[in-house]
């Protein structure tokens, strides 16, 4: 596992970005063709997100997991007015942009890079994808949704151009209203995403095996598409 530092000013800049893969030596990004950015939830860590990768068993992937300052990407609810979560939200989005640029500079374009987050990390991944709409390898929001209050304008520019998007959430989640997951589904479809939304009966704020299997299948499909196109 490697650690990279980011230098752009802001609350989250200068925090470590963990880089992991099954390559035995050197920079994994230089030895692979597909990547995933993993975004942790409030109070969690980048290292905890990397623990998920063993269950996916995708040796072709390199994983980058940035760490939030103070283990939180923003201080208030993701449903709060956007200004109330500044400057943390803008700093987090800028950090994610920097990580994506690092991957691109290593020769892995966005269409071979997946964004995946849980809870706060899911909200951040979905908001970033909407604000920077383009073709990605995939976008995964586990127990999250687009940010801001209900009346926040959703006039995002660009197109996801057929990006596979998975939204998974429990119908008993105390933090994520179902109407926000459904709104995120609608907005991301409008942006051109190929969205799959699953609401799990009786599940709270967690990740289940079906979600893990769905992400694994998305990863496998991305690898298969890349090798077919070579």
pLDDT of residue 99: 97
User: Percentage of residues in the chain with pLDDT exceeding 70?
Assistant: 93
Output the average pLDDT for the chain: 93
Give the contacts of 118 (CB within 8 A, at least 6 positions apart).
Answer: 39, 40, 41, 44, 49, 142, 143, 144, 207
166-180 pLDDT, tens digit each: 999 999 999 999 999
Hey, how many other C-beta atoms are within 10 angstroms of the C-beta on 112?
23
State the pLDDT at residue 30. Answer: 79
pLDDT tens, position by position, 94-126: 999 999 999 999 999 999 999 999 999 999 999
Collapse the DSSP code of 56 into the 3-class scheme (helix H, G, I; strand E, B; otherwise coil) and give the result. Answer: helix
Domains of the chain by residue range: 2-70+82-145+159-229
Q: Which helix (H) or strand (E) holds 102?
A: helix 88-105
Query: What's the CA gap between 143 and 121, in Å, rounded?
Result: 9
Fold for the domain defined by 2-70+82-145+159-229: Rossmann fold (3.40.50)
pLDDT average, residue stretch 206-228: 94
Q: Please check the confidence at residue 230 and state whether its pLDDT lies above 60.
A: no
Per-residue confidence (pLDDT) for residue 8, from 0 to 100? 55
Least confident window among 8-12, 86-90, 101-105, 162-166: 8-12
pLDDT, average across residues 82-92: 98
Residue 27, pLDDT score: 77
């Amino acid at each position: 596992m490697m650690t990279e530092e980011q230098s752009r000013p802001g609350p989250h800049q200068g925090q470590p970005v963990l880089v992991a893969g099954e390559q035995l030596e050197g920079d994994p990004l230089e030895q692979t063709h597909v990547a995933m950015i993993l975004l942790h939830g409030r109070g969690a860590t980048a290292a905890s997100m990397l623990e998920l990768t063993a269950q996916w068993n995708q040796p072709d992937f390199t994983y980058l997991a940035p760490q939030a300052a103070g283990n939180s990407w923003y201080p208030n609810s993701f449903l709060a007015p956007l200004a109330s979560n500044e400057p943390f939200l803008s700093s987090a989005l800028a950090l994610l942009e920097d990580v994506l640029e690092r991957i691109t500079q290593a020769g892995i374009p966005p269409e071979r890079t997946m964004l995946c987050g849980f809870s706060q990390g899911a909200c951040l991944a979905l908001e970033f994808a909407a604000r920077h709409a383009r073709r990605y390898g995939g976008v995964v929001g586990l127990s999250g949704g687009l940010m801001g209050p209900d009346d926040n304008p959703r006039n995002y520019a660009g197109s996801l151009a057929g990006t596979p998007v998975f939204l998974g959430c429990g119908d008993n989640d105390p933090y994520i209203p179902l109407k926000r997951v459904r709104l995120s589904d609608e907005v991301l479809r409008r942006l051109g995403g190929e969205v799959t939304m699953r609401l799990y009966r009786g599940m709270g704020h967690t990740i289940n095996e079906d979600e893990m299997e769905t992400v694994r299948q998305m990863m496998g499909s991305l690898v298969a598409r890349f090798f077919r196109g070579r």
